[in-house]
Amino acid sequence: MAIYFEWVTGASSTDHFVAKSKDAAQAYEWGNYRLSCLGPNRNKNKYEDVLDPIGLVPNTFELVLTTGQIRPGRALTDKADIAAARKSITRLKLDSTYHREMRMTHYARYLRNKDVQTLRELSPFVWYEADRQGLL
C-alpha cells in the first residue's frame, strides 16, 4: 500500500515489526525495521496479526479504483491468507473513509492529467492496481 506520506497517513515513522515489548533483543535488529506512516504504525502497536510487508506475495491486496476500497486480492485462495489480509486491513485501518478518499483522489488526478509518472511516485499501489487492471 505504498504511498507518498500525506496528512491522512501522518508523518513517516519507523516500525519495529516485532514489537519491543515482545522481543527486545530482536526489536533493534536492522531486519526488524519497517518504514511506515505514523497512523498505521500506531494502529499496529504491539499486535502480531498484521502481515509483514516484506515478502508479501503479489496481489495480496487489490483496489477498487472507483471507490478506493482495498480488499484481499482475488488471487489469494487459502482461507488463512484471506483472513490475514482482512485482519491487516482492519487493524491498520487501511480501508477508512480517509484512505479511500485519498486513493480516489490520486486516481482522479491521474484521469485528469494522464500523468502516469506522478501517479507512480505519489501512489505506487494505485498505480500498480490501475496498471494491473489495464486502466493506464
Q: What's the pLDDT at 47?
A: 84
Q: Say if strands 69-72 and 61-64 run parallel, antiparallel, or are unpaired.
A: antiparallel
Which pLDDT does position 34 carry in this prediction? 81
**pLDDT truncated to tens, each residue of the chain (136 aa)?**
565 556 555 566 777 777 777 777 777 788 877 877 878 878 888 888 999 988 898 999 999 999 999 999 999 999 999 999 999 999 999 999 999 999 999 999 999 999 999 999 989 999 999 999 999 9
pTM for this model (two decimals): 0.81
The predicted pLDDT at position 20 comes to 73
Number of H helices and number of E strands within the chain?
6, 4
By the 8 A CB rule, do 60 and 82 touch?
no
